[in-house]
Amino acid sequence: MTFGSLFTGIGGMDLGLERAGMTCRWQVENNGYCQRILELRFPDVERRWGDVRTFNPGCPWRVDLVCGGDPCQENSNARPSHHQSLQPSLGHEFIRVLEMLRPRYVLRENPSVVRADAPWPWHRFRSELERLGYAVLPFRLRACCFGAPHRRDRLFLLAELADANSLRWTEGKRTESRKTTIIHKASSEPERCTWWEAEPAVQRVASRVPDRMERLRGIGNSVPPPMAEWIGRLIVSAEERQ
C-alpha cells in the first residue's frame, strides 16, 4: 500500500506506517527544521511539498491512503482562552486535498479534548469526510498504552470510501466488508508494546545544543510511531484478506 503525508512534521506517523509495511510516496511540510529531518530520515520518498495551501495534487500524487494531523493549537483545549495561537487552522486544506485525490483510506490525528470554539473538532471533520462519501470510525488512543512514559490522548479518524466498503458477493455468497474487521480491531484495547523513549535526551534547560527548541517542538508535535504502526497493521491485514 502507498500513502501520502500531510502536515508531516518530523515523520512520526510516516515511520509507524512504514513499519506496518506501507510505502510513503510524498510528504507535505513547511517547517525548515522538519524538512531537513525528513530528507535525512526518508531519503526514498518520491516527492515533497512545502506549503499545503499551495499544494495542488494531480495524478502523480495518487495514493491508497492520506494521513496527517492538521495544526491543533486552535482546536486543543490546552490553549488558554486569552492566548492566540500562532498556527492557523488548516483543516479545510486537509479536506481540499482529499476532495482532489479521493484516496481509499484517510487517517487523521488531533487532540481528543477540544475547545468549545474549535474550528475543526473531530465531529466536524467526520461530517466533511462523510460528505465526500467516506465511512468514518473515530477512536482514541493513549501513548502510555504503547510504552510511552506519558498519557497523551489522541483522537484518530479512520475513514474508507463507502463504495470500497460495500458488502460484496463472491460466488453467490455475501461477504463481510473489510471495514467491519477494522472497526472491530480498532475498537479493542491495543497490547502494551515494549518501552520506547518518548522524549529526547536533551534537558529543557540545556544550552549550546543545536536546534534544541526545534527538536523538542518536533517531537512534541509528533505522533508516536508505535501508535501509527498499530493502526497501519490493521489496515494492511484487512487489505490482505480481501
Residues 12-61 have pLDDT tens digits of 999 999 999 999 999 999 999 999 999 999 999 999 999 999 999 988 99
21/164: higher pLDDT: 21
pTM of the model: 0.80
Which range in 57-61, 146-150, 168-172, 202-206 is most confidently predicted, on average pLDDT? 57-61
DSSP string, 8-75: -TTSHHHHHHHHTT-EEEEEE---HHHHHHHHHH-TT-SEEES-GGG----GGG--SEEEE----TTT
Q: What is the structure's pLDDT at 209?
A: 60
Q: What is the structure's pLDDT at 174?
A: 36
Q: What structural domains and CATH numbers belong to the chain?
A: 2-241 (3.40.50.150)
131/152: higher pLDDT: 131
Question: What is the tens place of the pLDDT at every residue in 180-212?
Answer: 445 445 545 555 454 445 444 545 555 566 677
49/72: higher pLDDT: 49
pLDDT, averaged across the chain: 81
Question: What percentage of residues in the chain have a pLDDT greater than 90?
Answer: 53
